[in-house]
Homo-oligomer: A and B are copies of this chain.
Amino acid sequence: MKYAGRMEGMQSSEIRELLKLTAQPEIISFAGGLPAPELFPVEEIAKVTTDLLAKEGRQLLQYATTEGRPSLRAKIAKRMADKYHTEVDPCDILITTGSQQMLDFCGKLFINPGDVVLCESPSYLGALNAFKAYEPKFIEVPTDDGGLIPEELDKILSTTPNCKFIYVIPDFQNPTGRTWSMERRKAVMEVVNKHNLPVVEDNPYGELRYEGEILPSLKSLDTKGLVMFLGTFSKIFAPGLRLGWVAAEHSVFEKFVQIKQSADLHTSNFDQGVVDAYMENCDLDQHVKEIVALYKHRRDVILQAMEDNFPEGCTWTRPEGGLFLWLTFPEGVSALKVFNKCIEAKVAGVIGDAFYPNDKTDRSMRINFSNMPDERIIEGIQRMAKAIKEAMA
């Protein structure tokens, strides 16, 4: 069979093979990004689903509108105002099959082969893969501990044609765990406004803040309708249901609706109803509080374990929220060598190289801390420390 040219550009088989290794049994894996299943509100979901089916089962199981369940869109708009200080009209919210689907749609809406997509360096692997299907050129914008560096963005935009959008995760970034400062947010929006650059603001972890004050979303600072805000229920409710959303300027929203119709008609009406009923009848805020308390504790445990075990020269970020931190090995140490030693020692993270679209070799590893009990975190970090020391020897 003769496939389309775009298939060649999709994820490198090398990274795929490395990721497969992390899924072997007996491995303590910090490679995933899974929520803690012990917190899923299973009983409440059973209760609201039973009630919902009794109340509106026939409508719930039928085809539905592409835009999404109206009462859920309204609740999302309210939540964006309450939690992200971001005022959005419910009519500008499209409910999607997880926020991963919106990454695919952004590629589809904007990218002609050869067009430029900008992203933080490093950036989220799943987004890069989604965009790759549309054959862009990636330009990585340098970052530091404060987030994206606006001057660097301005330089690139001033000299590069066909920049279609920038993809960013300002809060608890994947993979680094970093959060953009208030100053950076304002400065980036100034640059973006100057060049009329569309912005895909991915915010899967925003509500999972363990310290400090919530910062305004780029969307809330947007005066020109340039920002598309991507949200999800995967981290505050449950990822098995595949529910995300985009809030975008209305003409852009309409394009996404058109794409959505061809892509899967609409998001599961059953799943939309279940989340809507849960938000109506249960206490999502309280639930998120419990998630935050547990993940904050696990972050503290992993940071202490790294402090206690990792050799001199290793550095890592101390995220204020989210699911990930970013571990960097001393200069001269090969991350691939560490990765292989880790697999031998039955522990895994995701090798940093995976997060650079332009085949960069890095000295880093992404570490997830949301999904394991304390003793397993500590055991895993001890194994990893041993592997790092072996690779350094």
CA of A11 to CA of B257, assembled, Å: 12
Closest Cβ neighbor of A50 among chain B residues: B46
- Residue from A49, A241, A242 having most chain B Cβ neighbours under 10 A: A242
Residues of B contacting A11 with CB < 8 Å? 258, 262
Residues of B contacting A198 with CB < 8 Å? 1
Do B104 and A262 have beta carbons less than 8 Å apart? yes
Say whether A111 faces chain B, with CB atoms less than 8 Å apart.
yes
Q: How far is the CB of A262 from chain B (nearest CB, A)?
A: 4
Closest Cβ neighbor of A269 among chain B residues: B240
Do B130 and A263 have beta carbons less than 8 Å apart? yes
The stretch that binds B, out of A61-69, A138-146, A310-318, A323-331, is A61-69
Q: How far is the CB of A116 from chain B (nearest CB, A)?
A: 12
Say whether A259 faces chain B, with CB atoms less than 8 Å apart.
yes
Say whether A34 faces chain B, with CB atoms less than 8 Å apart.
yes
Say whether A53 faces chain B, with CB atoms less than 8 Å apart.
yes
Residues of B contacting A42 with CB < 8 Å? 53-54, 57-58, 61
CA of A263 to CA of B263, assembled, Å: 9
Say whether A238 faces chain B, with CB atoms less than 8 Å apart.
yes
Do B265 and A270 have beta carbons less than 8 Å apart? no
Given contacts A54-B46, A241-B268, A271-B270, contact A7 B62 (CB under 8 A): no
Do B266 and A242 have beta carbons less than 8 Å apart? yes
Do A109 and B7 have beta carbons less than 8 Å apart? yes
Given contacts A1-B198, A252-B1, A259-B133, contact A100 B270 (CB under 8 A): no
Say whether A35 faces chain B, with CB atoms less than 8 Å apart.
yes
Closest Cβ neighbor of A258 among chain B residues: B10
Given contacts A4-B108, A57-B40, A108-B6, contact A129 B261 (CB under 8 A): yes
CA of A265 to CA of B34, assembled, Å: 13
CA of A59 to CA of B129, assembled, Å: 26
Q: How far is the CB of A279 from chain B (nearest CB, A)?
A: 16
Say whether A98 faces chain B, with CB atoms less than 8 Å apart.
yes
Residues of B contacting A133 with CB < 8 Å? 108, 259, 262
Chain A positions 92 through 115: 1 when the CB is less than 8 Å from some CB of chain B, otherwise 0: 000001101101100011111001
- Residue from A1, A266, A274 having most chain B Cβ neighbours under 10 A: A1
Do A255 and B3 have beta carbons less than 8 Å apart? yes
Residues of B contacting A46 with CB < 8 Å? 49-50, 53-54, 57
**A-B CB contact pairs (8 Å), 8 listed:** A11-B262, A37-B59, A46-B54, A49-B50, A61-B239, A126-B265, A241-B268, A268-B271
